[in-house]
Amino acid sequence: MQVVTLIILLFFCKASEFRKVRRNNRGNNDKSNNSKKTSSTVKRYAPGLPCEIYTYINEKYLDCQEKRQTTVLSDWPEDLIHILLARNRIRIIKNNTFSKFQNLKSLDLQQNEITKIEDQAFSGLKKLTTLLLQHNRIKTLSEEVFIQMPRLTYLRLYDNPWDCNCEMESLVIFLQIPGNRNFGNYAKCENPSELKGLKLKQISTQTLCQEEDGKPKPLEGFKATRPSVDSTVCHTYLYPIATLDCKRKELQQVPTDISPDIIRLDLSSNKIKRLQAKEFKDVPNLEILNLSNNGIEFIDPAAFSGLMNLHELDLSENKLCNFQYGVLEDLYFLKKLWLRDNPWKCDYHIHYLFYWLKHHYNVNYNGLECKEPEEYKGWSVGKYVRSYYEECPNEKFQVHVGMHEEEWEKIEGDKNQIQSGKTHGVLLTVLT
């Protein structure tokens, strides 16, 4: 009996030890899993995500936008031509940060958290032509920061909280040199309150330093006039093409200070209801214009005047019923025209748009569909226009109603096959 009792006790001891081992193993596995989760989380949110390096038109780019970068990495190749560092977390640019990139032509540092740039930060960039520093937190800079770049052509500084004091005097003088017409455009003072809103390019340097009593000197000379709508809320990108991105900025008018070098302009998803005459006269090189989703109701016949180079025009998702005669007359090289999701009204006023597209057969377009009146809803505008003439009384207009649609279009487009004459005051079209 004692032997049996002893065996049972030994069995329970072994079972207890087995349960402890299982618990320990489970605990270790949990820890391992937790450590894996922790490590994956850290990896997932770690700064310095991989950047993309590619070649475009024989020039090497480093695209490191939105990668949570806080600094320039030492392993980036030295032969880069363009560095894109927009929308990161860079706060300070120290001396010689970019000195090894001696072939660099453009440097995009916009939309970071930059508060300080040391005087020799851009040392060695003798070929740099474009420097974008807008949308940061810079308060003061001196001219010395930029004299290291003899070929600098474009310098963007707006949307920084500039503190216009004596420390800014050399920079203001530098920006106002006549040859620096593309330097610091639209950059404005944030402080002191007496100078808030004044452009650095137009402020008098005498107003930057205070009198002995601590009060600012009175303003002298021309005071900058704020345009009704400016482009400082937009984002400028110069590569691969010069672009002004004003999408979803609550704009009610086209900005009045767009740079003449802009090639692509995105004004989509704003609140622009009307396009006035010569809205884009200052951007003659514009090739792509997006005006979709604005609620546009009216376009002046001269709104697109001067846009001789425009290739693409997006007018979709607006409130256009028709085009007045002349709206498209300056768009000689237009190739794409988006017209969908507009309440096109099929009456006589829609004929201009249809015939302009018909005679400019190289233009690809979509969305030209009747939305009203109800009897023509869902028709293509082309079908409506043809039916309009087919239904005209004989005494007003004579057509061969028995002809197929393709033959009708071919004959109508060939002016050599159409002869017109008047008999007893009635217009007669003779088809040969």
Whole-number Å distance between alpha carbons of 259 and 278 = 15
Supply the pLDDT for residue 418: 40
Q: Which amino acid is at 324?
A: Q
Supply the pLDDT for residue 5: 52
Work out the burial of residue 27: count CB atoms within 10 Å of its CB; fewer than 13 is exposed, 13-18 middle, 19 or more buried.
exposed
Tokens of 162: 């500039």
Backbone phi, then psi, for 429, in 5-degree steps? -105, 120
**b/e 378-390 (16+ beta carbons within 10 angstroms → b):** ebebeebbbebbe
Whole-number Å distance between alpha carbons of 55 and 81 = 9
Instruction: Specify the 3-state DSSP secondary structure of 374.
Output: helix
- Domains in the chain and their CATH numbers? 235-391 (3.80.10.10)
Q: Compute the 3-state secondary structure of the chain and give helix, strand, coil in percent, each to the nearest 5.
A: 25, 20, 60
Supply the pLDDT for residue 241: 86
Q: pTM to 2 decimals?
A: 0.55
With left for phi above 0 and alpha for psi between -120 and 50, is residue 171 left, alpha or beta? alpha
Q: Please confirm whether the linkage preceding 240 is cis (ω < 30° from 0).
A: yes
Supply the pLDDT for residue 424: 38
The 8-class DSSP code of residue 87 comes to: S
Residues 6+ apart with CB under 8 A from 179: none
Supply the pLDDT for residue 14: 53
Q: Of 170, 241, 245, give the one whose Cα is nearest residue 209.
A: 170
CB neighbourhood size of 33 (10 A): 10
- Give Cα 190 to chain centroid, integer Å: 25
Tokens of 137: 């937190």
For residues 116 and 142, the answer to whether their CB atoms sit within 8 Å is no
Bridge partner list, 106: 82, 130
Instruction: Specify the 3-state DSSP secondary structure of 61.
Output: strand
Instruction: Specify the 3-state DSSP secondary structure of 26.
Output: helix
CA distances from 346 to 49, 313, 382 (A): 54, 22, 10
CB neighbourhood size of 368 (10 A): 18
For residues 262 and 244, the answer to whether their CB atoms sit within 8 Å is yes
Query: Positive or negative, the Cα torsion across 388, 389, 395, 400?
Result: negative
Number of H helices, E strands in the chain: 5, 21
Packed helices 405-413 and 351-359: angle between N→C axes, nearest 10 degrees: 80
For residues 72 and 94, the answer to whether their CB atoms sit within 8 Å is no
Q: Please confirm whether the linkage preceding 50 is cis (ω < 30° from 0).
A: no
Q: Which amino acid is at 200?
A: L
For residues 109 and 85, the answer to whether their CB atoms sit within 8 Å is yes
Packed helices 351-359 and 381-390: angle between N→C axes, nearest 10 degrees: 110
Backbone phi, then psi, for 212, in 5-degree steps? -65, -30
Q: Of 180, 216, 179, give the one whose Cα is nearest residue 198.
A: 216
Q: Of 309, 320, 183, give the one whose Cα is nearest residue 241.
A: 309
Supply the pLDDT for residue 207: 76
Whole-number Å distance between alpha carbons of 64 and 60 = 13
pLDDT means over runs of 10, the chain (432 residues): 51 52 49 43 46 91 92 92 94 94 94 93 93 94 89 92 90 87 88 90 78 45 45 81 91 88 93 92 91 95 91 95 89 93 91 88 90 90 81 44 42 43 39 37
Q: Please confirm whether the linkage preceding 373 is cis (ω < 30° from 0).
A: yes
- Return the beta strands (E) in 175-268 as ranges: 189-191, 235-237, 243-245, 264-266
